[in-house]
Structure 1
């Protein structure tokens, strides 16, 4: 149970409100573009393949570009990055509208343009998600995340509904013009925003920062477990978005307007989920919410396969939308609360890779199942698998991160080296010697397993623990860091209260003070500093 925070509290912060509103408008345009691209070939003999490939072309760039985008978002001014992406969206959407109006838009070119827009989204999404933490206090972060989910789902509802009306009256090209205009609105908001200056310190080189983000997620079991469980729900649940054009046209016999109404029903459920989730989480744990959302989604999507009426399908899609958003909002809220600031954008980028990459991979799978086995079979299979994903509540629970302190701590003293290497020199091996009494050996070794994870997720590329053969009560921990710069970042900016607690737990079982040595290649020395007297830094 958590303390209630008004779902609208983040709107009290002016910058968040206007940026949120601009993101809503821009997202409406992007969703309208997706619907326009799908509907452009809905009557094609190969529509089941084409409309699902549009979804893939939208989301596949996230798998390829989100992590590099997260590196950029952690290193550069996020306002400038978002501004550049919006200018890019305007240019691509205008060109797409002109070529479509001229009748020069075959499927392959349409998928290329859709991929190009998806590439922009890959850069925009982790930048905006990471920026939210700067705009509101931590106590309001979960509420801000749910408001962001509302923006996503308002766009999911309004964009397709708007596209349906426009397509029915004027055709597809004006939809792409709307996409350009909507991106222009957020561009103006970003121009008007005077962001406070943020001191990021020394900028990490691109490739080391990229590897550091990947190492953090690989060696942080909470994040890894959360993402695996999330993908287990997304893989079947994405069928609702991938197959909705076919459900509208083939199962329910609807046109563009009816398709827009179905999308609006999904969006309405999603908005209801985002608004109501704050109250629900006061009484249920995150794991209970995820389990109930998966079961509700599976039951209603399965019932949808038996429906032949728009008015019966709409309320079922409302529940599907609720289940979808309850899952997505819960996962991203827990991650936002758990992730430390130094790697937040990169880890969110990996979350987005899982989120959209899973859809990119499995959307065409559901299209192929539909093509060969029929729409009903695909829907029943997806519904069953989505419901079964609730088992993850027992096998991989998501922890409660509300009260974690994720701020950076600099509790290591400066490295007491006589000859300081150049920043890019490496690898650096840090060797720490511990004396352990025989009766404390078992708990010490157990505590060092957590120490291993702490070292690896904060920047180490290797970690080993050795017993000194000549002195059985002595143990030597060694971890290797790629460069001296990265080891300095461990000292200043990458460690949290959790890492300090892990060290304290291990040190509770040792005798005396651990002794630290830095093993440095001789040719990397740059200058001498003989005034530092301590011989340990942990």
Structure 2
């Protein structure tokens, strides 16, 4: 009798997250705010285009938006994992409302300059940099994990609906009134989001183990990414994609104004076609289901944007470019949702905002550096050469799909395993006492040493990822079958946090190591604390401490 073949669970419909009323309310508020943001983008870029003849200054508008994320994303991610996210959202939305309103007032006064617009755009970018990691992480609190890919896609739809209608509305307001009205309306849109977040009754999260400090939280986020190959691969692909697509975002207004000699209305319509393509892409992805994995989606999107840059460089018919931008919108949503979903599904909740902030930092760094490079190249050579070079970059970056493939993350179980027993201690240990060395003794048959070494190497990576400063495996010279794994942690409190960071997915790696252990008893675990106990030692070395005491 054969076992029945398990069928995969059906994929949740695209609109499933809307059944969660909190997600629905925040999504609508975010849509309104996104419309205001895209109106602001069009007004700001077009105003700079009319105030200066430098293509570099126009391209710097993208850098003014992206650079703050490079500076503030990681601190914002650490804050989002340490303090109440609702209060942070209230602060960031209020700050951006004040800045947008101030820019509008200055524009009405007639005293605005290209550098002034860049300065206010930089301040708005600071608010967005602080807001974005929190906003993305909040999604994981609003819907079930099974609906998270659809929720992330709908967030992309929100931004791209706004991209489809926001630029057109902004362009029309600029044409019939002035850019000042666009800036004021953007300020009002932030106030609407502020009100929805204010009435959100967020449940307080209970955290186990000692609280992290700010700098320790930053280091933990960087360390987690460093020892997570799946996340590291996404970041490499993200930077390459952002660097190449920055040519389109930074220079499309120059193509419209200088190459095609058209008005701001055409620029707004151009971005609207891109947004409409992204919305269409969400619908197509929902119907296509699992026919394309994330790796294939990103590869197709990269190739599509190589064509986009080629078209902007060589095509002079505006209606052809509208069609190109529509297809680019589909590619944009495919790539960005693939990146974002992979990151959010691949990390546990305790470090989620920090990893997302690093992902956003890498993306914005690619956009900032790309804007500078392609804008400077356009000033030094020609607009066409700059766009052709960007197309060549996109084609070359497609090869990254081989060394850095996107790994599936939907089935990962990242809930805390909570299977490590608390060590027996003689008295109370202060969380700041340390360093701590943990040793785990295994008895392994010589024939199993090669396989044990491979499995122990995977476990070593997890130890380093979750807080260990050093880790390794040693054998006893007098009894080679006795193999000891050790890892070294800065403080007792950090080791306690390790207990709660180890996930059920990690438990399978640990089980692979322990299956080589011989004997009826479990591997012996020993905890060693620095003697005498030394508070607040972050990077001390036990051997150096002992030498100094001789």
Per the shorter chain, which TM-score range? over 0.9
Residue 45 (structure 1) shift:
4.6
Whether contact under 8 Å (2:76, 2:133) holds in the other structure is yes
Q: What SS class does the counterpart of residue 312 from structure 1 fall into?
A: helix
Whether contact under 8 Å (2:255, 2:312) holds in the other structure is no
Moved more, 25-34 or 244-253: 25-34
Q: Does 1:126 align with 2:142?
A: no
Q: What SS class does the counterpart of residue 238 from structure 1 fall into?
A: helix
Whether contact under 8 Å (2:309, 2:391) holds in the other structure is yes
Separation (CA, whole Å) in 2 of partners of 1:24 and 1:524: 54
**Cα deviation digits, residues 288-327 of structure 1 (max 9, x gap):** 1121222222224313322212211101011112112211
Matched residue, 1:307 = 315
Q: Does 1:511 align with 2:518?
A: yes
Matched residue, 2:543 = none
Matched residue, 1:279 = 287
Q: 1:86-235 maps to which residues of 2 (within 5 A)?
A: 86-201=93-208, 203-235=211-243
Selected match of 1:394 from 387, 399, 402: 402
Whether contact under 8 Å (1:269, 1:322) holds in the other structure is yes
Matched residue, 1:75 = 82
Matched residue, 2:17 = 10
Q: What SS class does the counterpart of residue 524 from structure 1 fall into?
A: strand
Q: Does 1:239 align with 2:256?
A: no
Q: What SS class does the counterpart of residue 418 from structure 2 fall into?
A: coil
Residue 425 (structure 1) shift:
2.1
Q: Does 1:39 align with 2:46?
A: yes
Whether contact under 8 Å (1:57, 1:111) holds in the other structure is yes
Residue 417 (structure 1) shift:
2.6
Q: Specify every segment of 5 or more residues in structure 2 that has no aligned partner in the other structure, as ranges.
A: 1-7, 536-550
Separation (CA, whole Å) in 2 of partners of 1:294 and 1:354: 17
Residue 91 (structure 1) shift:
1.2
Q: What SS class does the counterpart of residue 521 from structure 1 fall into?
A: strand
Matched residue, 1:489 = 497
Selected match of 2:506 from 499, 508, 519: 499
Q: Does 1:266 align with 2:268?
A: no
Q: Specify every segment of 5 or more residues in structure 1 that has no aligned partner in the other structure, as ranges.
A: 527-538
Alignment length (residue pairs): 525
Residue 43 (structure 1) shift:
3.0
Q: What SS class does the counterpart of residue 432 from structure 1 fall into?
A: strand
Residue 482 (structure 1) shift:
2.0
Residue 60 (structure 1) shift:
0.8
Q: What SS class does the counterpart of residue 402 from structure 2 fall into?
A: helix
Q: Does 1:294 align with 2:309?
A: no
Whether contact under 8 Å (1:168, 1:256) holds in the other structure is yes
Matched residue, 1:257 = 265
**Cα deviation digits, residues 29-53 of structure 1 (max 9, x gap):** 2222222222122134543111111
Selected match of 2:67 from 60, 63, 69: 60
Separation (CA, whole Å) in 2 of partners of 1:514 and 1:198: 34
Whether contact under 8 Å (1:2, 1:282) holds in the other structure is no
TM-score w.r.t. length of structure 1: 0.94
Whether contact under 8 Å (1:281, 1:289) holds in the other structure is no
TM-score w.r.t. length of structure 2: 0.92
Separation (CA, whole Å) in 2 of partners of 1:203 and 1:420: 17
Moved more, 278-287 or 62-71: 278-287
Residue 496 (structure 1) shift:
0.9
Residue 525 (structure 1) shift:
8.6
C-alpha RMSD over aligned residues: 1.8
**Cα deviation digits, residues 327-347 of structure 1 (max 9, x gap):** 111111122111111111110
- Runs of 4+ aligned structure 1 residues displaced above 4 Å come to none
Matched residue, 1:329 = 337
Separation (CA, whole Å) in 2 of partners of 1:370 and 1:281: 41
Separation (CA, whole Å) in 2 of partners of 1:181 and 1:467: 66
Selected match of 1:454 from 450, 456, 462: 462
Separation (CA, whole Å) in 2 of partners of 1:333 and 1:152: 16
Q: Does 1:364 align with 2:361?
A: no
